[in-house]
Amino acid sequence: MKRWKTVTAPKNSDTINIFLGGNVMIGRGIDQIFPESSDPYIFEKNTQDARDYVKLAIKKNGKFYLEHEKQAIEYIWGYAMKTWEKYKPDVKLINLETTLTTSDTMWPMRPTQLRAHPTNVKSLKIAGIDCCGIANDHALDYGYQGLDETVKVLKEAGIKYTGAGRCTTEAKEPCIFDIADKGRVIIFSLCTHSSGVPNYWAATTSGTTGFGVNTINIDINTTDFINLKTQIKEVKKPRDVIILSLHWGEEWNAQIHQSLREFAHRAIDEAEVDAIHGHSTHFPLGIEVYREKLILYGTGDLINDTEGMPGKYEDSQCDLGFMYFAKVNLDTGNLIELRLVPFRIKQFRLCTPNPRDVNLAVNPLRRRCKEFDTDVIPAMDGHGFWLAFK
């Protein structure tokens, strides 16, 4: 019988509670159900109309949207709102997998183009999102103008972002949250080319033409890692929790490449990183606790518009996922507890899963955790699951 690690939580002032959300895609089909939406024209292999994603969802799960009766801006969050209220995270972090723009200029030769009308940033605001990582493979779907407008919209809404900017310096700048009477949470957003980010999307040193995302080469270029170490060393103070939010790996690959694991370990060993918030895959990947630090290799999708599409693999359904709540010790940065709350995306809304949904979500994740000697077990209070680790 395995002996799992148990931790006695210190007093509240010594812990920080962080929500680590997966990909948030409020564009394309979801954008179309809001009171104000973008032009539905897109240029994809199988469709040129974003409303086709709405039709697919209706075909699978029933009518929830009428052209003359659009949904309220908070509609999509559903079950999540009560869950956030229950656990009251100090910081809510997501990967924003869409642009917020009125630009019609698509980046050439991209397989998908994701955008939401700038007005719909209100959906993120209502959800209480504190930080959007925007270093990902959709940040420039609508060109430099689209990215420029996205960051302006987030700024005006009072939502912090990290991972992109007008030059390398801006793109690398972290989000810093000073939590009263506790400590700080410092978030860096980065992306790798393995997640589908073109080399030429990387931000450069020019202040006028250097617009782009914060890329990192984890396989070859050790200079990137040295620079990251230096940046963290310059900003980190006692009772700071350092989070790397990484868009990495192939979006439909459940196998975690050895290079990702080596990078995560090295970031913890050498760069004083306390948690890895991984995303790219549209379904959850295995979870590791390395030297008492949390590594989420893939947090899946938090919200998307693809529920009407068949999954690429039987155990990789992107309409099933988890909300991740991590309690971290401020003095050590060590993981105290990870709670996973399952959900189903139905009718473009986060819903309470039925028992079958829960099994479909949990069983593949348990299999993927085995290689890291972790497990997902029912929480003793009956709400969701806990990560068991040695």
Give the alpha-carbon dihedral of 207, 213, 218, 222, to 10 degrees: 10
Regions in the chain scoring below 50 on pLDDT: 1, 6-8
265 DSSP 8-state letter: H
User: Which pLDDT score, from 0 to 100, does residue 219 have?
Assistant: 74
For residue 256 the two structure tokens come to 């975690």
C-alpha angle 2-6-389 in degrees, rounded to nearest 5: 50
How far apart are the C-alpha atoms of 175 and 162, rounded to whole Å?
A: 6
**pLDDT tens for each residue of 250-302:** 988 889 999 999 999 999 999 999 999 999 999 999 999 999 999 999 999 99
User: Which pLDDT score, from 0 to 100, does residue 309 have?
Assistant: 84
How far apart are the C-alpha atoms of 297 and 278, rounded to whole Å?
A: 5
| Residue located via tokens 């656990």 | 87
User: Which pLDDT score, from 0 to 100, does residue 287 have?
Assistant: 99
In a domain, residue 339? The reply is yes
User: Which pLDDT score, from 0 to 100, does residue 11 have?
Assistant: 53
Please state the length of the chain.
390
- The 10 Å Cβ neighbour count of residue 173 is 18
User: Which pLDDT score, from 0 to 100, does residue 2 have?
Assistant: 53
CA within 13 Å, CB half, 262:
9
In contact, 73 and 349? CB cutoff 8 Å: no
In a domain, residue 374? The reply is yes
In contact, 273 and 358? CB cutoff 8 Å: no
Gap between the terminal Cα atoms of the chain: 12
| Residue located via tokens 């899946």 | 300
User: Which pLDDT score, from 0 to 100, does residue 390 have?
Assistant: 85
How far apart are the C-alpha atoms of 194 and 219, rounded to whole Å?
A: 10
3-state SS, one letter per residue, for 177-235: EEECCCEEEEEEEEECHHHCCCHHHECCCCCCCCCEECECCCCCCHHHHHHHHHHHHHH
User: Which pLDDT score, from 0 to 100, does residue 317 have?
Assistant: 83
User: Which pLDDT score, from 0 to 100, does residue 66 have?
Assistant: 75
287 φ/ψ sector (left φ>0, alpha ψ -120 to 50, else beta): beta
- The 10 Å Cβ neighbour count of residue 377 is 14
370 DSSP 8-state letter: G
313 DSSP 8-state letter: S
In contact, 340 and 387? CB cutoff 8 Å: yes
301 DSSP 8-state letter: E
How far are the Cα atoms of 71, 104, 105, 224 from residue 118, in angstroms, in the given order?
Answer: 16, 13, 15, 33
Amino acid, single-letter form, for residue 384: G
**pLDDT tens for each residue of 54-83:** 999 999 999 998 776 789 999 999 999 999
User: Which pLDDT score, from 0 to 100, does residue 220 have?
Assistant: 61
How far apart are the C-alpha atoms of 115 and 7, rounded to whole Å?
A: 43
Which domain does 74 fall in, by range?
A: 12-389
How far apart are the C-alpha atoms of 169 and 206, rounded to whole Å?
A: 10
How far are the Cα atoms of 101, 117, 294 from residue 146, in angstroms, in the given order?
Answer: 5, 11, 33
In contact, 204 and 167? CB cutoff 8 Å: yes
In contact, 133 and 102? CB cutoff 8 Å: no
Q: Which residues contact 34 (CB under 8 A, 6 or more apart)?
A: 70, 71, 73, 116, 117, 119, 120, 123
User: Which pLDDT score, from 0 to 100, does residue 16 have?
Assistant: 97
User: Which pLDDT score, from 0 to 100, does residue 214 have?
Assistant: 98
| Residue located via tokens 């956030």 | 84
In contact, 347 and 265? CB cutoff 8 Å: no
When divided into structural domains, the chain yields a total of 1
Which CATH number fits the domain that encloses residue 202? Answer: 3.60.21.10
For residue 3, the Cα-to-chain-centroid distance in whole angstroms is 31
User: Which pLDDT score, from 0 to 100, does residue 1 have?
Assistant: 38
Q: Which residues contact 6 (CB under 8 A, 6 or more apart)?
A: none
